[in-house]
Chains A and B, each alone.
Chain A
Amino acid sequence: GESVGLHLPTLSVQEGDNSIINCAYSNSASDYFIWYKQESGKGPQFIIDIRSNMDKRQGQRVTVLLNKTVKHLSLQIAATQPGDSAVYFCAENFLQVLDKLIFGTGTRLQVFP
């Protein structure tokens, strides 16, 4: 069945360094991908999204890269800050109409001073 998974369950980085969180997806028909950040006790918070007709999209301190050839998605966070500590999820949508999102299990990002 379709699945979205993450390579690393936990990522530890030094404050100020760049972080890269990876995600693999299995359904080549997916046309929309989203990264969410979830802090303890809160719901997922939208970070950035990308459509399948794009390879790269940049936001404020974040960049999402999409490699459709190998079905791989990554989230890059520049100059990681303590406030970036959270669990990060990638999610995919299979249809052009935004309905169910398929989430992976998440990667925990820990930022050390």
Chain B
Amino acid sequence: AQSVTQLDSHVSVSEGTPVLLRCNYSSSYSPSLFWYVQHPNKGLQLLLKYTSAATLVKGINGFEAEFKKSETSFHLTKPSAHMSDAAEYFCVVSGGGRRALTFGSGTRLQVQP
């Protein structure tokens, strides 16, 4: 079985300050982990993925995430928020085989000017 928990449903930051979106996962297998972003009225876009290579994963738009097996976490960070980062962010886990990806409940990131 696999599951993912996004610890914050809503995060608000000021433009230019760091972003931290938290995600914990559970998987019976060595997981693949992803972060997706969804802008209003749009589809989901892949930000980055972890597939058992380097534990620090760099993605698009300056985002990165660190896989910590001991903490079962895969938090998403960005050093400096931009107004265009305001969106819904989803942490996703895959347990391998033919299992579909399991999505977290999402974190809405608000960026204040």
- The answer to whether A binds B is no
* Chain B interfacial positions (CB closer than 8 Å to A): none
